[in-house]
Structure 1
Amino acid sequence: MIKDTYSDKIFKVFNYLFLSLALIIVLYPIIFIVSASISSPKFVNSGEMWLLPKGLTFEGYKMVFQNPQIWIGYKNTLIYTFLGTAVNLLVTIPAAYALSRKDFVGRGFIMGLMLVTMFISGGLIPSYLLIKSLGLIDTIWVMILPGAASVYNVIVCRTFFQSTIPGELEESARMDGAGNFTLFLKIIVPLSAPIIAVMALFYGVGHWNSYFNALIYIRDQDLYPLQLVLRQILVLQEMSAEMTMDASTVEALQNKATIADTVKYAVIIIATLPLIVIYPFMQRFFVKGVMIGSVKG
């Protein structure tokens, strides 16, 4: 067993110190928000609550969950996330596999056209006119079809196929009489479980956090995703507080400010909790996604 040198020990000490500092920097805001969401706003605003809950109260969560739009937003976000991720995978995986094939004529030209879209956009107004002409305004499809494929994710998948799936395997399948669809569905897809899981994670997180398309293209509140519903709650609370500022009653102002602060932290937790719970179980797929294509053997 090789003993650590003096420089190795110093490196380990600094490494542990750095990692501990990074953990504190990342973990403290999460603990603070959770504690603030169940603490009395007067302790939060005065700075008396800086880590653990103080003046325990669940009024913020009670007020948020009494709003029926929250449940509608949850339902819509679940639909957008699962349906959108399925469409993303159905488009991304076959496209990436086709572009990874050396015998695919014009793959370089098509890949170049796709790369252009990463740097040049048509702009918001042309995009809105296009979406409107397609009849997608105020439909669930406006949250799914415009982003059916991410060029970056296509590149990641293409790299996976090029570096992981050996050409000899395809040749062997063709010698056994397998066609393109049989080869892809029965051989390539089963061997691509890691990249499919990675893409599902990437796309799923994107759909869960998505709100901009809904903000621009959706006017029907029954189609609002969760993020837009929560944004609306915060905006309305802040507007109520500001409107109260013009009144003569200071107590009413303080009550409105208290409500806004209580709801604000509860809303943050409601929006992020599902991802915080799921992510530890999906972390290994995320790490694999980052490493895909970095080492070729």
Structure 2
Amino acid sequence: MASPAVPSARARSAAPPDPTDQPPTGTVPAELPIVPRRRPGRYLSGGLALLAAALLLRSLAGNAAFEWSVVGSYLTAPSILRGLLLTLWLTGAVTALGFALGTALAVARLSGNPVLQALSWGFVWIFRATPLLVQLLLWFNIGALYPKLSLSLPFGGELFAVKTVDLLGPVLTALIGLTLHEAAFAAEVVRSGVLSVDQGQLEAAASLGLGRGRVLRRIVLPQAMRAILPPAGNMLIGTLKGTSIISVLAVHDLLFSTQLVYNQTYQVIPLLMVATLWYIAVTSVLSVGQYYLERHFARGATRAGLPPTPWQRARAAFRRAVGR
């Protein structure tokens, strides 16, 4: 008796699928469980970091040498607040004047005039290469070089004259020295920000017939600010802390005011903690402002949009927790 013929592999592959082999209609295959990857090292390092932070806070809070009651009593003392106001005024004035002069220097450096380029480069080179303390001491003793400043006309005699010592007091000397030092660094920050703008966009704007002022205002500055703001924010915070160096000129800033107090009370550590806490508070406020200013100029930089702010993430986490 002949055995039934066995179909070949090619015939089996060409044959239509058997309807009995298909899953029943309306059934959904079971979903595979998603198991997150275990990261024991991350939890271990996080736990050790929290433990170290807790031990540090316990040491700060429990060390009687800090005299936190004295810190609280001097934190809002009138002399300390006057020094803080002078520090804030110097920080704002130096930043504004420094970036105004730095922008002019950057424009001169980017211009096609070789004389302006050389002068701008020389200014930046000298003031970046000289320590800030040396600059302040030179300006403070400028009277030894120029005892008198005068204005005279050819064949007309001297119009007026003033002694340099009477003209340049400690506060004005600090303002001049800090501004010139700030301008040298601000010039490079502004120049790098302008150079970061794609030249193709400038060529496209020129082909459309846009004026130079409109191109600068609408195309160059919005994109250059993305590169300028991070280092400019760091410079602002650095200027706030750098004003403490003017205490060598006997300017009554925040640090010098605390020094005057602890020279009388001999409570050095508590008064230094007062200055530290005020510097931390003002720096934190400036950092928050820098963060939101950077977000403002970063709009449209990525297609995915801006990431949520810490406040938005906290609200989302609270809503998820309440929803549960």
Shorter chain as denominator, the TM-score bin is 0.5 to 0.7
Percent of pairs identical after alignment?
13
Q: Does 1:109 align with 2:137?
A: no
The answer (yes or no) to whether the contact 1:97–1:161 under 8 Å persists in 2 is no
Give yes or no for the alignment of 1:70 onto 2:80. yes
| Mapped pair 1:164 → 2:190 | no
Q: How far is 1:68 from its partner? A: 1.5
**Equivalents in 2 of 1:104, 1:174: separation in Å?**
24
Residues 10-49 of structure 1: pairs in structure 2 closer than 5 A: 31=57, 35-36=60-61, 43-45=63-65
Q: Map Cα deviations across residues 106-134 of structure 1 (whole Å, 9 max, x no partner).
A: 46534542224433569465443237856
| Cα pair distance change 1:204/1:120, threshold 3 Å | closer
AA at the equivalent of 1:79: W
For 2:129, the aligned partner's letter is F
Aligned residue in 2 for 1:6: none
1:95-116 deviations in Å (ceiling 9; x for gaps): 2244235x34346534542224
Pick closer, same or farther for the CA change 1:230–1:93 going to 2, 3 Å. same
Q: Which structure is higher in strand share?
A: 2
- Paired position in structure 2 for 1:119: 129
Instruction: Report the CA distance between 1:226 and its aligned residue.
Output: 1.6
CA contact (8 A) 1:194 1:285 kept: no
Deviates more, 1:113-122 or 1:88-97: 113-122
Measured after TM superposition, the shift of residue 151 of structure 1 is: 2.9
1:81–1:112: structure 2 CA closer, same or farther, 3 Å change rule?
A: closer
Query: Helix, strand or coil: the match of 1:61?
Result: helix
194 and 213 in structure 1: CA distance in 2 versus 1, 3 angstrom threshold = same
Q: CA offset at residue 185 of structure 1?
A: 4.7
Structure 2 Cα separation of the partners of residues 261 and 107 of structure 1: 50
Paired residues, what number? 235
Residue 69 (structure 1) shift: 0.9
Q: How many angstroms apart in 2 are the aligned matches of 1:193 and 1:28?
A: 42
Q: What TM-score results when the alignment is normalised by the length of structure 2?
A: 0.54
Change (3 A) 1:98 1:184: farther
Q: Supply the AA of the counterpart residue of 1:130.
A: I
Structure 2: any 5+ residue segments left out of the alignment? Answer: 1-37, 147-163, 295-324
Secondary structure of 1:192's aligned partner: helix
Quote how far apart the aligned CAs of 1:178 are.
2.3
What is the match of residue 109 of structure 2? 99
Q: CA deviation at 1:72?
A: 0.9
Unaligned runs of 5+ in 1: 1-8, 50-55, 239-258, 287-297
Structure with bigger RCO (C-alpha 8 Å, 6+ apart): 1
Out of 198, 209, 221, the position equivalent to 2:230 is 198
